[in-house]
Amino acid sequence: MIAPVVDAAWTAAHLDEVVLADVRWYLDGRPGREEYDAGHLPGAVFVELDDWLAAPASPREGRHPLPDPDVFARGMASLGIGDADAVVAYDDQGGVVAARLAWMLRVTGHAAAVLDGGIGAWAGPFETGSGPRPAATFTARPWPQEALAGADDAADPANAVIDARQHERFVGAGPDPVDPRPGHIPGAHSLPAREHLGPDGRLLDRAALRERFAAAGVDGERPVVSYCGSGVTACHNLIVLEHAGLGTGRLYAGSWSQWSHSDRPAATGDE
């Protein structure tokens, strides 16, 4: 198992030993594939989040529920990612999207990491086209229950519940742009994933990251439950939690997109 986060220098030195995975995806609906085709890391495969990293959206399950393990396995195999491959996932948002793939692989026992700084940290060369990797064997494994949380866990004050969305969505400042209700899960703490990044798009140092988690109620004692809008950037908080040396947490995959369709209470402001 490789570290949860690796830098560009490490990646360049291990290009022949890893599979690079481009996981560019945008909340506004822009196709990430177009950005991949315009330029990507050498030999990288493009992973379509909506095809392979999520099941179809529904009010009951949320906008990005985890896919059936067989679907995930079929997607990885078709991209040439096999059981024994180590994967370095990247995007152009500091890893907040690519972390979904890295987390899914890591919790099912595969070697995977997020590229610190994403494509912006890569000095080159870049490719605009590459041949597909040969299909591989990727064994479907069930999502481990110890890595998952549900709505009841997110409501449990015994857990440190962290919200990876931008702060304005957490406080419910105006209508939510994609979900039916604004606000956040009562008792949760705001911990925007994008604010783990410095001006250069790379992660803050570990001491600064630990301070951020401590301010959000992560004390090393209470179990951590991470959520966001739909369970994507919540994975970044979990990857960074591990990178900072604070252990592992659980993903509430349904996240706000599931909670806000229910009759559970919503909090607003800096509760």
Assess whether 156 and 234 both reside in one domain.
yes
Average pLDDT, stretch 39-67?
97
Q: Is 84 within a domain?
A: yes
Average pLDDT, stretch 84-105?
98
118 burial level (CB within 10 Å; 0-12, 13-18, 19+)? buried
Assess whether 173 and 71 both reside in one domain.
no
Which residues are within 8 A (CB) of 28 and not within 5 positions of it... i.e. 6 or more apart?
none
Average pLDDT, stretch 228-250?
98
Q: Is 137 within a domain?
A: no
Instruction: Return the pLDDT at 173.
Output: 84
Average pLDDT, stretch 223-251?
98
**Percent of the chain predicted with pLDDT > 70:** 100
- Out of 193, 197, 228, 232, the active site residue is 228
Q: How far is residue 143 CA from its own chain's centroid? A: 15
CATH number of the domain bearing residue 104? 3.40.250.10
Assess whether 252 and 150 both reside in one domain.
yes
Instruction: Return the pLDDT at 193.
Output: 98
- Over residues 129-153, the pLDDT tens digits come to 777 789 999 999 999 999 999 999 9
235 is catalytic: no
Q: Identify the residue with better confidence: 97 or 129.
A: 97
pLDDT for residue 239 is more than 90: yes
Assess whether 117 and 161 both reside in one domain.
no
Instruction: Return the pLDDT at 271.
Output: 65
pLDDT for residue 264 is more than 80: yes
- The number of distinct structural domains making up the chain is 2
Nearest to 20 by CA among 78, 129, 94, 98: 98
Average pLDDT, stretch 60-86?
98
Q: Is 268 within a domain?
A: no
Instruction: Return the pLDDT at 75.
Output: 98
Q: Is 140 within a domain?
A: no
pLDDT for residue 220 is more than 90: no
Q: CB neighbours (10 Å) of residue 88?
A: 27
Q: Residue 185's domain spans which residues?
A: 145-259
| pTM, entire model | 0.96
- Over residues 149-195, the pLDDT tens digits come to 999 999 999 999 999 999 999 999 888 888 999 999 999 999 999 99
Residue burial 120-146, b: 16+ Cβ < 10 Å; e: rest: ebbeeeeeeeeeebeebebeeeebeee
